[in-house]
């Protein structure tokens, strides 16, 4: 089984593909508005601490499980636990990524539409116009559905080409483009009048903003941003070679993920401060506030404004694509190995199923009563159930599995094959996985429901 398994062709491919899995809308969309709501600079300090204490140990844990078992995520837990019920934890991760792929494709499709709208010059008018434009598009029964299906088709065409010819090749192309777009927009944003106030807000810590809500918000952002608990990292690790340095790879991925998030803040806040937009505009920042920001910021150069707007939404689409590819792959390899299907047929099953989920989630936003559950749209139901229940539970159980169930010698042997993690450092890692990560994830989970 292991000798026939596909693998990444280079260390660069490993880093870019797994970093692409982590880098997504959570970095470019969620991180800036979370930083805006929690005081900018001080939030970044706490966020980085959470990545170091929670993110990296959890990434390494999924890497250990994936590479050791060299199998899909569900089977990996079963192999390492001797077929015990722990396999259900792996299956939960696959199911979580599968369900997220469906509704995630809806928001990703919005990004494709906004690229088109920017290039076509449709995004101009008053602030009320942008709110009305988004509402009209979001509730349209057919337009969002078209862009959702297009996004899933693009994902499918990459997945069926395999690990080296599809995922690795696409990641080597898309991740550099993503960084170039980020840097270009950051430079343009920081050149605007009054932009330095935004830079100051982002990097000058205001310790008066420190409270329990801010800590839990940073902890949650670190956890969700790094794609922990949805089977992606475990699946990608199953394609790692034995000479891959797991700790170093995890640190590099966390570093890239954090850099992208901070650059996203540098892209948004200088432009927002330049035109007097509040930094705590919330989730509407991307699709309602930012088009207005770009229009006002580049009012004397409307053509540049259109280009910057199109580049920004292209950046969002690329970030979304690198993430959804990893979730799709986790489900595809599950069907491929468990049902003994060809890769193309397994990928087709996942694409069709996720497209159906995406369509009903998209249509639920149009006010169809049949597509609501207890007053919530299906889109909101999928978002809530996967993000606030399934991900924390999966991440918590993974830490328990690796920290308390697996033999420590197995864990140590798996990523000390080059002597990269010995003695006291291994002890620190194990302490984080056994105590810090489970407690942190449990706090996030309880906070979601107002218990603490």
Residue 171: its pLDDT value, please? 78
The residue-averaged pLDDT of 138-162 equals 90
**What pLDDT does residue 279 have?**
65
pTM of the model: 0.85
CA distance 422 to 433: 16
The pLDDT > 70 percentage for the chain reads 90
Using only C-alpha atoms, what is the Rg of the chain?
21
Q: Is the pLDDT of residue 328 over 70?
A: yes
Choose the most confident range, by mean pLDDT, from 20-34, 98-112, 221-235.
98-112
Which CATH class name applies to 11-448?
A: mainly alpha
For residue range 420-451, list pLDDT tens digits in order.
555 567 888 889 899 988 988 888 777 766 67
Query: Which pLDDT score is estimated for 3?
Result: 43
Q: pLDDT at position 18, please?
A: 75
What mean pLDDT is predicted for residues 154-169?
82
Q: What is the C-alpha separation between 129 and 132, in angstroms, rounded?
A: 5
For the cut 70, the answer to whether the pLDDT of residue 241 exceeds it is yes
The pLDDT of 390-397, averaged and rounded, is 86
Q: Average pLDDT, whole number, for the chain?
A: 82
pLDDT in tens, 182-238: 888 888 888 888 889 888 888 888 788 777 777 777 877 787 778 787 788 888 888
Q: pLDDT-based confidence at 1, cuts 50/70/90?
A: very low
Model confidence band, residue 114 (pLDDT cutoffs 50, 70, 90): very high
Would you place residue 2 in the very low, low, confident or very high pLDDT band (cuts 50, 70, 90)?
Answer: very low
Which helix (H) or strand (E) covers residue 323, if one does? helix 302-338
The CA–CA distances, whole Å, from 307 to 8, 165, 298, 304 equal 35, 31, 10, 5
Say what the pLDDT of residue 189 is.
Answer: 81
Is a pLDDT exceeding 70 seen at residue 452?
A: no
> Which range, of 74-78, 110-114, 214-218, 438-442, averages the lowest pLDDT?
214-218
The whole-number pLDDT of residue 341 equals: 92
How do the domains of the chain map onto residue ranges?
A: 11-448
Mean pLDDT, range 50-57, rounded to an integer: 87
Q: Is the pLDDT of residue 264 over 80?
A: yes
Quick one: pLDDT band at residue 418, thresholds 50, 70, 90? low
Can you give the pLDDT at residue 336?
92
Using the CB atoms, write b or e for 198-226: b if 16+ within 10 Å. bbebbeeeeeebbeeebbbbbbbbbbbbb
Using pLDDT thresholds of 50, 70 and 90, give the confidence band for residue 139.
Answer: confident
Closest CA to 95 of 121, 116, 73, 111: 73
């Amino acid at each position: 089984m292991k000798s026939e398994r596909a693998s990444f062709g280079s260390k660069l491919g490993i880093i870019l593909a797994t970093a692409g899995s982590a880098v997504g809308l959570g970095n470019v969309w969620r991180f800036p508005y979370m930083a805006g709501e929690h005081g900018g600079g001080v939030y970044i300090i706490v966020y980085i601490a959470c990545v170091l204490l929670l993110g990296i140990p959890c990434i390494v844990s999924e890497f250990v499980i994936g590479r050791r078992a060299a199998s899909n995520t569900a089977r990996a837990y079963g192999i390492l636990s001797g077929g015990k019920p722990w396999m259900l934890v792996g299956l939960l991760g696959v199911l979580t990524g599968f369900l997220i792929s469906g509704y995630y494709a809806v928001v990703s499709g919005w990004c494709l539409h906004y690229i088109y709208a920017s290039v076509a010059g449709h995004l101009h008018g008053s602030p009320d116009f942008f709110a009305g434009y988004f509402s009209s598009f979001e509730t349209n029964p057919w337009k969002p559905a078209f862009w959702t299906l297009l996004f899933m088709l693009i994902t499918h065409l990459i997945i069926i080409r395999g690990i080296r010819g599809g995922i690795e090749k696409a990641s080597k192309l898309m991740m550099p483009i993503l960084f170039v777009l980020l840097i270009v927009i950051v430079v343009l944003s920081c050149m605007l009048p009054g932009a330095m106030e935004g830079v100051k807000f982002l990097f000058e810590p205001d310790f008066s903003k420190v409270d329990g809500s801010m800590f839990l918000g940073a902890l949650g952002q670190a956890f969700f941003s790094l794609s922990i608990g949805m089977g992606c990292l475990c699946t990608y690790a199953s394609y790692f070679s034995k000479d891959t340095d797991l700790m170093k790879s995890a640190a590099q991925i966390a570093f890239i993920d954090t850099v992208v998030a901070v650059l996203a803040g540098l892209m948004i806040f200088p432009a927002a401060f330049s035109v007097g937009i509040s930094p705590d505009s919330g989730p509407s920042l991307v699709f309602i506030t930012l088009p207005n920001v770009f229009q006002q910021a580049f009012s004397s150069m409307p053509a540049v404004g259109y280009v910057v707007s199109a580049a920004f939404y292209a950046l969002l689409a690329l970030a979304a694509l690198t993430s959804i590819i990893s979730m799709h792959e986790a489900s595809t390899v599950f069907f491929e190995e468990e049902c003994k299907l060809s890769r193309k047929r397994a990928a087709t099953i996942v694409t069709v199923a996720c497209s159906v989920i995406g369509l009903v989630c998209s249509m639920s936003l149009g006010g169809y009563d049949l597509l609501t559950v207890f007053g919530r749209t299906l889109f909101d139901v999928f978002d809530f159930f996967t993000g606030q229940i399934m991900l924390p539970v999966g991440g918590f159980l993974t830490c328990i599995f690796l920290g308390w169930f697996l033999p420590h010698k197995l864990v140590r042997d798996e990523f000390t094959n080059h002597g990269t993690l010995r003695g006291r450092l291994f002890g620190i890692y194990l302490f984080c996985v056994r105590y810090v990560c489970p407690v942190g994830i449990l706090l996030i989970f309880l906070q979601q429901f107002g218990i603490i």
